[in-house]
């Protein structure tokens, strides 16, 4: 199915049913790995809010949730310049932290967030990202333990991810149609 958002066309990449099934499996794994640990989920705003909302419903162990907000994208290009928009309000010292990301692209945003969290001296840090573009990663991120789907290097929208602020509300995930040369 093809949709249009702003000036761009997008084709269906991942259906919500598929996403839901994968999240259920990640939830099972997290419940096992963090049994008796009371982890803190740190959602990276804005993109991760839909993923985190579905993921947390699969978590059956005691856990807490907080958020951090940074900005690194302009339209469909990674700007490489990351700025703080909202700091983490919780004390993460000696806590088991699970950073929840919508997508890891170059890895620059994640690296920046991980440095901020490490400065608080948590007991452990793991990253759970719904999407991962393995072909474009520039930073090695050893904390990236849980990945929903590895996807090609396409710009994607839907399920919390936006294009110029639009498209976060779509249930499924869509990829940008490559322009004909
Ligand atoms: P990175 O710093 O890894 O290059 O970019 C990470 C952030 O850029 C993500 O948290 C996300 O907000 C945004 N981003 C990266 N790739 C995409 C994409 O394909 N679509 C959308 N909508 N945002 C993306």
Q: Establish whether residue 78 lines the binding site of ligand 1, counting it when its CB lies within 6 angstroms of any ligand atom.
A: yes
Q: Establish whether residue 159 lines the binding site of ligand 1, counting it when its CB lies within 6 angstroms of any ligand atom.
A: no
| Averaged pLDDT, 88-94 | 94
Per-residue pLDDT reduced to its tens digit, 19-57: 999 999 999 999 999 999 999 999 999 999 999 999 999
Q: At residue 172, does pLDDT exceed 80?
A: yes
The secondary structure element, H or E, covering residue 30 is helix 16-33
CATH code for position 56: 3.40.50.2020
Q: Say if 80 falls within a structural domain.
A: no
| Rounded Cα gap, residues 34 and 29, in angstroms | 9
Domain count, the chain: 1
Q: Say if 76 falls within a structural domain.
A: no
Q: Say if 101 falls within a structural domain.
A: yes
Residue owning tokens 């469909």:
76
Q: Say if 88 falls within a structural domain.
A: no
Full residue range of the structural domain in which residue 11 is found: 2-71+95-176
Sheet with 173-176, strands from edge to edge, namely: 2-5, 8-14, 173-176, 156-157
| Rounded Cα gap, residues 50 and 43, in angstroms | 10
Contact 25, 151 (CB under 8 A): no
Q: Which residues contact 68 (CB under 8 A, 6 or more apart)?
A: 42, 43, 44, 45, 86, 87, 88, 113, 116
Q: Say if 171 falls within a structural domain.
A: yes
**Active-site annotation holds for 102:** no
Q: Which residues contact 177 (CB under 8 A, 6 or more apart)?
A: 2, 8, 9, 10, 11
Q: Which entry of 102, 105, 162, 172 is annotated as an active-site residue?
A: 105
Q: Say if 23 falls within a structural domain.
A: yes
Q: Identify the pLDDT of residue 73.
A: 61
Q: Say if 84 falls within a structural domain.
A: no
Q: Is 159 helix (H, G, I), strand (E, B) or coil?
A: coil
Supply the pTM of this predicted model: 0.94
| Averaged pLDDT, 84-102 | 94
Q: Tell which atom from ligand 1 comes closest to the C-alpha of 162.
A: 22
Q: Say if 151 falls within a structural domain.
A: yes
Per-residue pLDDT reduced to its tens digit, 125-167: 999 999 999 887 777 899 999 999 999 999 999 999 999 999 9
């Amino acid at each position: 199915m093809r949709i249009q958002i702003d000036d761009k066309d997008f084709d269906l990449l991942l259906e919500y049913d598929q996403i839901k099934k994968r999240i259920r499996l990640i939830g099972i794994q997290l419940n096992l790995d963090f049994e008796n640990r009371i982890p803190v989920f740190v959602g990276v705003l804005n993109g991760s809010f839909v993923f985190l909302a579905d993921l947390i419903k699969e978590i059956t162990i005691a856990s807490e949730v907080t958020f951090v907000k940074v900005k690194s994208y302009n339209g469909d290009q990674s700007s490489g310049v990351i700025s703080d928009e909202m700091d983490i309000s919780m004390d993460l010292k000696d806590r088991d932290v699970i950073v929840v990301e919508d997508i890891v692209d170059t890895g620059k945003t994640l690296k920046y967030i991980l440095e901020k969290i490490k400065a608080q001296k948590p007991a452990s840090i793991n990253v759970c990202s719904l999407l991962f573009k393995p072909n474009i990663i520039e930073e090695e991120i050893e904390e990236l333990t849980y990945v929903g789907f590895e996807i090609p290097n396409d710009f994607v929208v839907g399920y919390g991810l936006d294009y110029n602020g639009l498209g976060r509300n779509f249930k499924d995930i869509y990829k940008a149609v490559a322009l004909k040369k």
